[in-house]
């Protein structure tokens, strides 16, 4: 029976390390501050926002919320982002996506100052993830995977890591973060010829495809560490990952659950980005 790697202890350990840094910033007159921008009332955004608020409160981060109706114009949203860019007391911004269809999402994302982009949505931030300069901030979910592996003592140096999914939100930036950790990385996608074979060869298998239970016994091999990033609703209306949890528990050395795995770490990574952005603004 494989171990279950939960996200909560990882999130808690990360948050505990942030608290003294937030206190020091506040004492210096720079209270770390995050802006959350939400257009509309999508239930998943509301739920993530509640989690982010709670996490930031625990860490000692102030949150300013900017809510617009989904009928808002792109100009109205751009004007909110412009204010955030200009406001020195705001160190970072989280913008919920997807935006309503009448908006040009790329243009809106690019209008955010890269220094305040806490979730890797600007090309400036992503470029720094790819070049490894460390100036920008990777997407929180991608970094949450690496935090998870660190917390549970996995040294990635030389490890064969397979990531299923190549989106700009998870797969691609995650591959870069893993490369910086000296892993040997394979990215799989819908055109991959032998997905089960590629997955079985992995020492660390990370699923980020967004397909309920798509990886089963034929994709797994004994001793693997399996991280499941997927958040899907199955045919019974249950929240499940991309990996069959029962199959992974039978075969793998460790597996992250859904819910309660990688997803539970993302708000603490967001908080860590805000603290770092505030420290940079304070010249630390
Ligand atoms: P996308 O739909 O943008 O990308 C999915 C990727 O998976 C694509 O690269 C696609 O390949 C690949 N893929 C899909 N089906 C298959 C298949 N059958 N075989 C091989 N590859 C496949 O999804 P995201 O990256 O945005 O999200 C992935 C999952 O992670 C989702 O379940 C999402 O809900 C979850 N997620 C969780 C977060 C959190 O924990 N907070 C945050 C963000 C995402 P191709 O490029 O060829 O189409």
Taking only the tens place, the pLDDT of each residue in 220-232 is 999 999 999 999 9
Whose C-alpha lies nearest to ligand 1, atom 13? 209
- 87 and 150 fall within a common domain: no
Is the C-beta atom of 96 inside 6 A of ligand 1? no
DSSP letters spanning 188-253:
E-TT-S-HHHHHHT-SEEEE-S--TT-B-GGG--TT-EEEE---EE-TTS-EE-SB-HHHHHHH-S
Counting the structural domains of the chain, the total is 2
- 163 and 106 fall within a common domain: no
Structural domain contains residue 189:
yes
As a whole number, mean pLDDT of residues 41-66 equals 97
Whose C-alpha lies nearest to ligand 1, atom 42? 141
Is the C-beta atom of 125 inside 6 A of ligand 1? no
Is the C-beta atom of 143 inside 6 A of ligand 1? no
- CA dist., res. 193 & res. 211, Å (int): 18
- 162 and 255 fall within a common domain: yes
pLDDT at 221: 98
Query: Of all residues in the chain, what percent carry a pLDDT higher than 90?
Result: 98
Cβ-based neighbours of 101, under 8 Å, separated by 6 or more: none
Give the confidence band of 1 by pLDDT, cuts at 50, 70, 90.
confident
Structural domain of residue 85, as residue ranges?
28-114
Q: What is the token pair recorded at 250?
A: 């039978």
Whose C-alpha lies nearest to ligand 1, atom 15? 209
Give the confidence band of 234 by pLDDT, cuts at 50, 70, 90.
very high
pLDDT tens string 87-136: 999 999 999 999 999 999 999 999 999 999 999 999 999 999 999 888 89
Burial tier of 180 (Cβ tally within 10 Å: 0-12, 13-18, 19+):
middle
- pTM of the entire predicted model: 0.97
Whose C-alpha lies nearest to ligand 1, atom 40? 263
pLDDT tens string 21-31: 999 999 999 99
Residue 164 Cα: closest atom of ligand 1: 21
Is the C-beta atom of 169 inside 6 A of ligand 1? yes
């Amino acid at each position: 029976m494989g171990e279950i790697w939960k996200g909560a202890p990882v999130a808690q350990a990360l948050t505990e390390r942030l608290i003294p840094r937030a206190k020091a910033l506040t004492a210096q007159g720079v209270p770390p501050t995050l802006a959350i921008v939400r257009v509309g009332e999508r239930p998943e955004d509301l739920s993530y926002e509640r989690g982010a608020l709670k996490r930031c409160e625990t860490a000692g981060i102030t949150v300013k919320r900017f809510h617009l109706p989904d009928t808002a114009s792109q100009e109205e949203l751009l004007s909110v982002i412009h204010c955030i860019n200009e406001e020195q007391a705001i160190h970072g911004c989280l913008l919920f996506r997807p935006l309503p269809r009448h908006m040009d999402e790329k243009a809106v994302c690019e209008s955010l100052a890269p220094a305040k982009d806490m979730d890797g949505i600007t090309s400036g931030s992503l470029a720094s993830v790819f070049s490894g300069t460390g100036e920008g901030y990777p997407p929180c979910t991608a970094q949450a995977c690496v935090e998870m592996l660190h917390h549970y003592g996995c040294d990635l140096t030389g490890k064969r890591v397979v990531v299923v999914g190549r989106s700009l939100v998870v797969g691609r930036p995650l591959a870069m973060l893993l490369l910086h950790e000296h892993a040997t990385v394979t990215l799989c996608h819908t055109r991959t010829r032998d997905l089960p074979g590629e997955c079985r060869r992995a020492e660390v298998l990370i699923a980020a495809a967004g397909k309920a239970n798509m990886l089963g016994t034929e994709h797994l091999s004994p001793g693997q560490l399996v991280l499941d990033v997927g958040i899907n609703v199955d045919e019974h209306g249950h929240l499940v990952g991309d990996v069959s949890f029962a199959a992974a528990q039978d075969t793998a050395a460790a597996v992250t659950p859904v819910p309660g795995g990688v997803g539970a770490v993302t708000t603490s990574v967001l908080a860590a980005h805000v603290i770092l952005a505030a420290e940079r603004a304070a010249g630390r």
